[in-house]
Amino acid sequence: MAVESSPAPLDASRLEINAVPNPDPAPDIDTPDVMNVKTFTDRMITASWTEERGWSNPQVVPYGPISLMPSASALQYATQCFEGMKVFRGYDGRLRLFRPLYNCERMLKSATRISLPAFDPRELLKLIHKLCELEAPKWLPKNKPGSALYLRPTMIGSDSSLGFKVPEEAQLYIFMVYWPGPKLVTENGGAALQAGTRLLASSVSAVSAWPGGTGSAKVGGNYGATLAEHGLAKKQGYDQVLWLFGPDRQITEAGATNIFVIWKTLSGALQMVTPPLDKDGLILAGNTRRSIIELARDMFSVETASKELQCEVLERKITMSEVEEASSNGRLMSVFVVGTAFWIQEVSEIGFNGESIKVNIGVTTHVPLLRERMTEIMFGKRESDWVDIVQES
């Protein structure tokens, strides 16, 4: 009797290592290629999928070009999704990932949203651990604590049919890159200060995400379409677009980061607010975002914090008129943006309707305190169950 084989799952235990590191030393982190985000490590992990056979054995291969038909689904219909995470070399010599299962689970959600195949997020996490273990000796050596590499798991629809349909073939690849600045730590290992970022509010005619769209998934289509507005902001000397939504000009995200506002309420109490992850799906559920919320609730609670640090943390809708009003009444204390790639950066100015809302940096110490705590966790100066230790042989 013939046995029907079911499609194979993604299985990290079947990893095949088919590449050794390039013997050349890793480049300095201030070379032009690093600044241009073009310095990738020597090797990547790939796995291919077909509807019929499921996932292939994952492979460690040299980082390099992939081959796709011009008709490939990912190139024609943007069936693509990715994740962004970092691996850190700690001051205790150990290698850490920051809440990485969260990213792997979000990758599955993004893949599902864009009609790419499913996988067990724990298997993806094992592959990420393995790649870190293989690449770290050269790229994050133990004698360089305080350094980090950026990881980019990516999945694309590689089906060569030009028909508009769910891809029957896909590719997963995980690769690593030096992500230039901001500096995470100072020479002596403290959290580095960050310069103020300048945001320009999006025009009424430019929208990055909408209810029923893909704003809560990390899919390529969310990004390319925002480059035009981003370019307009850059031309006017701003760093990022502050993406607003709806006639009441709700704040959603800034560039590709989540955003927080610290203001005083009319009764004088401090509040830290960030837009909610509601059913509209306008906001990406950032790993840094949720960590900042959890840390702030712990560090700035009535029970733990000094009087001047006590701060309620709320996920709620924020409109530009609220920010304007807080600013004009002297109640706007801090605005900051957070994300894996761009870290935790304070905002010094928001351009809106031809006006400039200035935000003084340093009025409160919440952001430096959060940055310091995050850095301590990531680089092993503080015990935390938020980190995975990467086992190195």
Q: Which residues are at the interface with a second copy (CB under 8 A)? A: 36-38, 40, 44, 63-71, 73-80, 82, 112-115, 150, 152, 154, 156-157, 160-166, 173, 175, 177, 179, 204-207, 210-214, 219-225, 227-228, 230-231, 255-256, 279
Q: How far is CA 211 from CA 234, 245, 331, 359, in A?
A: 27, 10, 31, 30
Give the whole-angstrom CA distance, residue 22 versus residue 20: 7
Cβ-based neighbours of 39, under 8 Å, separated by 6 or more: 27, 31, 33, 177, 178
Give the whole-angstrom CA distance, residue 285 versus residue 217: 8
Identify which of residues 73 and 287 has a Cβ nearer to a second copy in the complex.
73
Helix (H) or strand (E) holding 124: helix 121-139
Closest distance to a second copy from the beta carbon of 53 (Å): 17
Residue 314: strand pairing partners: 273
Identify which of residues 68 and 299 has a Cβ nearer to a second copy in the complex.
68
- Do residues 345 and 182 make contact, with C-beta atoms less than 8 angstroms apart? yes
Among positive and negative, which fits the CA dihedral 374, 364, 319, 229? negative
- Do residues 349 and 198 make contact, with C-beta atoms less than 8 angstroms apart? yes
Token look-up 């902001």 returns 233
Identify which of residues 178 and 336 has a Cβ nearer to a second copy in the complex.
178
Identify which of residues 217 and 261 has a Cβ nearer to a second copy in the complex.
217
Closest distance to a second copy from the beta carbon of 55 (Å): 18
If phi > 0 it is left, if psi is from -120 to 50 it is alpha, else beta; for residue 317 that is beta
Closest distance to a second copy from the beta carbon of 119 (Å): 17
Peptide bond preceding 182: is omega within 30 degrees of 0, i.e. cis? yes
Identify which of residues 155 and 361 has a Cβ nearer to a second copy in the complex.
155
Identify which of residues 55 and 77 has a Cβ nearer to a second copy in the complex.
77
Closest distance to a second copy from the beta carbon of 182 (Å): 14
Closest distance to a second copy from the beta carbon of 227 (Å): 4
Closest distance to a second copy from the beta carbon of 263 (Å): 28
- Do residues 345 and 242 make contact, with C-beta atoms less than 8 angstroms apart? no
Q: What are the structure tokens assigned to 191, written together? A: 């959290």
Identify which of residues 77 and 386 has a Cβ nearer to a second copy in the complex.
77
Angle at 157 between CA 155 and CA 161, to 5 degrees: 170
Identify which of residues 34 and 311 has a Cβ nearer to a second copy in the complex.
34
- Do residues 379 and 95 make contact, with C-beta atoms less than 8 angstroms apart? no
SS3 category, 333: strand
Closest distance to a second copy from the beta carbon of 170 (Å): 12
Give the whole-angstrom CA distance, residue 154 versus residue 83: 7
Computed on alpha carbons and rounded to an integer, the radius of gyration of the chain in Å comes to 22
Q: Strand 240-245 to strand 250-254: parallel, antiparallel, or no bridges (unpaired)?
A: antiparallel
Cα 351 versus chain centre, distance:
24
Give the whole-angstrom CA distance, residue 252 versus residue 248: 12
Identify which of residues 165 and 358 has a Cβ nearer to a second copy in the complex.
165
Identify which of residues 140 and 174 has a Cβ nearer to a second copy in the complex.
174
Closest distance to a second copy from the beta carbon of 304 (Å): 37
Closest distance to a second copy from the beta carbon of 46 (Å): 8
Identify which of residues 145 and 281 has a Cβ nearer to a second copy in the complex.
281
Closest distance to a second copy from the beta carbon of 230 (Å): 8
Closest distance to a second copy from the beta carbon of 72 (Å): 9
DSSP 197: E
